[in-house]
Amino acid sequence: MSFPVSLPLSPFQRLGRLIAGVEPGRPPIDVSVGEPRHPVPDFVGPVLSAALADFVRYPPIKGTPAFRAAVAGWAERRFGLAAGTIDRDDGVLPLNGSREGLFHATLTAVRLAGSAKGARPAILLPNPFYAVYAAAAEAAGAEPVLVAANLEDGFLPRFETLPVDLLARTVAAFHASPANPQGAVADLERLNGLVRLARRHGFLLFSDECYSEIWRGRAPDGVLAAALSVGGDLTGVVAFNSLSKRSNLAGARCGFAIGDPAFLRSWAALRNVTAPQVPMPIQAVAVAALADEAHVIENRRLYDLKYAAAAEILGDRFPDLVPPGGFFLWLDVSRWGGGEDVTARLWKEAGVKVVPGGYLSASGADGINPGSGFIRIAMVESVETSCEALSRLSEVLS
């Protein structure tokens, strides 16, 4: 089922209203925001210091050659692409974090489509969804169309089930793997199908892969490999990633887009007069970060410890709580009253701040919000603090 959505307040604004004026029952633990709290890699300080003088310079909108080469080389290694596959001149763009890029890419996509997609073009979004997807669609004057990503579909949206007339006026589709908040991962066959669908109907596939380096078991496949396996090139496909989750550098605001050179050239031209550049010292940090996997492996080890603890503490109530990717718990608490009720109780009784799942999704034409029965917990604190938060949750639910 698909339906239009009117963008509400941000999930965190709504959460603030829900618990406003309520004193936490115990010393607060905030696991509502997906902000990594693991240590900043050791090399960041020295790299910034060495590049300090470059803060006086305006950075090029397309980034430094070293940045583009580092991003392209990392993606080729990570996703098993042949060396030199990614265009070092036009196939990579630096972003001030992936959120800014997702927003501006949508504006560019709608602008380039013009009237070819009809009076009001459509943008496809999963439901639940990252709020910027809907904000970008509405800002671009497109219709945001949500497609439920429920348990029976593996928590992934089934865009292929949409009516042909809707797909015909679609300009772009957002797809996240690993998904936020469910942590679902699309395999290569599924990604191949999405690429074929997008090319058949002439829309862009925006693949949000910001959690691609946080996984357990097997590294997630990427849309770049899918695009190359389907048609031998990256036409119509853009992958988004950043240093925020991979390298615990959310405050650096450094992301990147990789993909279709023709689209990225047009987007870069628009960005040159509308978007912020990434400072060159931050680009230098990115070059160092993308060359180092040791800190990423340690990152995953810490998340694995927390998920093992979660399974021990909550596994009797939530037998399938450990997702294959990402760093969230997506817990169905409908039998305890639903997301809002449990969130309010957790704060009032235990001082634990989580996000109601219904704030990360929207109600359909049938009045059903697919996230209303869930809460999202960000596993970003230390192992000890995470265990304390989960133990308090267990006590409240008992």
- How many other C-beta atoms lie within 10 A of the C-beta of residue 398? 6
For 259, the domain range is 55-290
Q: Give the strand pairing for 355-356 and 374-378.
A: antiparallel
Instruction: Residue 127: give its domain's CATH number.
Output: 3.40.640.10
86: exposed, middle or buried (C-beta count within 10 Å: 0-12, 13-18, 19+)? buried
The verdict on residue 49 lying in a domain is no
Q: Give pLDDT, residue 205.
A: 98
Q: Give the tens place of pLDDT for each residue, 64-74.
A: 999 999 999 99
Q: Which of 247, 268, 290 lies at the terminal end of a domain, its last residue? A: 290
Q: Give pLDDT, residue 13.
A: 94
Residue 227 tokens read as: 């695009």
Residue 61 shares a structural domain with residue 121: yes
Q: Which of 260, 290, 320 lies at the terminal end of a domain, its last residue? A: 290
The verdict on residue 352 lying in a domain is yes
Residue 252 shares a structural domain with residue 203: yes
Instruction: Residue 356: give its domain's CATH number.
Output: 3.90.1150.10
Residue 167 shares a structural domain with residue 213: yes
User: Percent of the chain, pLDDT > 90?
Assistant: 93
Q: Give the tens place of pLDDT for each residue, 211-264.
A: 999 999 999 999 999 999 998 999 999 999 999 999 999 999 999 999 999 999
Residue 26 shares a structural domain with residue 157: no
| Rounded Cα gap, residues 192 and 297, in angstroms | 28
Question: Vertex 150, ends 146 and 151: CA angle to 5°?
Answer: 165
Confidence of residue 116 (pLDDT cuts 50, 70, 90): confident
Q: Which residues pair with 259 in a beta bridge?
A: 238
Count of domains forming the chain? 2
Residue 266 shares a structural domain with residue 325: no
| Rounded Cα gap, residues 341 and 324, in angstroms | 27
Residue 260 shares a structural domain with residue 280: yes
Residue 284 shares a structural domain with residue 301: no
Over the chain, what is the mean pLDDT? 95
Residue 299 shares a structural domain with residue 286: no
Query: Of the given ranges (95-104, 115-124, 339-348), which has the lowest mean pLDDT?
Result: 115-124
DSSP-derived 3-state class of residue 6: coil
CB 205 within 8 A of CB 175: yes
CB 292 within 8 A of CB 41: yes
The stretch 147-174 carries a mean pLDDT of 96
- CA dihedral defined by 362, 367, 370, 371, rounded to 10 degrees? 60
The stretch 309-329 carries a mean pLDDT of 96
Q: Where are the alpha helices (DSSP H) in the chain?
A: 11-18, 44-50, 65-78, 98-113, 131-139, 164-168, 188-201, 223-231, 243-246, 261-274, 280-290, 294-314, 339-345, 383-397
DSSP-derived 3-state class of residue 381: coil
The verdict on residue 178 lying in a domain is yes
The stretch 308-330 carries a mean pLDDT of 97
Confidence of residue 131 (pLDDT cuts 50, 70, 90): very high
270: exposed, middle or buried (C-beta count within 10 Å: 0-12, 13-18, 19+)? middle
| Rounded Cα gap, residues 156 and 183, in angstroms | 10
User: Sign of dihedral through CA atoms 35, 128, 141, 159?
Assistant: positive
Q: Give pLDDT, residue 8.
A: 57
Question: What DSSP character marks residue 233?
Answer: S
DSSP-derived 3-state class of residue 351: coil
308 alpha carbon, distance to own chain's centre: 23
For residue 34, which amino acid is it?
G
The stretch 75-79 carries a mean pLDDT of 98
123 alpha carbon, distance to own chain's centre: 17
Q: Give the strand pairing for 143-148 and 2-4.
A: antiparallel
| Rounded Cα gap, residues 181 and 380, in angstroms | 13
Residue 25 shares a structural domain with residue 103: no
The stretch 268-272 carries a mean pLDDT of 96
The verdict on residue 170 lying in a domain is yes
Residue 118, sorted as left (phi over 0), alpha (psi -120 to 50) or beta, turns out to be: left
Q: Which of 258, 290, 322 lies at the terminal end of a domain, its last residue? A: 290
Residue 282 shares a structural domain with residue 160: yes
133 alpha carbon, distance to own chain's centre: 10
**Residue 345, C-beta contacts closer than 8 angstroms, at least 6 positions apart:** 337, 396
CB 314 within 8 A of CB 394: yes
The verdict on residue 47 lying in a domain is no
Residue 21 shares a structural domain with residue 123: no
Query: Interhelix angle for 261-274 vs 98-113, to 10°?
Result: 110
196: exposed, middle or buried (C-beta count within 10 Å: 0-12, 13-18, 19+)? middle
Q: Give pLDDT, residue 215.
A: 98
The verdict on residue 44 lying in a domain is no
The verdict on residue 40 lying in a domain is no
Question: What DSSP character marks residue 146?
Answer: E
Residue 112 tokens read as: 């380039």
The verdict on residue 39 lying in a domain is no
DSSP-derived 3-state class of residue 379: coil
Confidence of residue 307 (pLDDT cuts 50, 70, 90): very high
Residue 301 shares a structural domain with residue 286: no
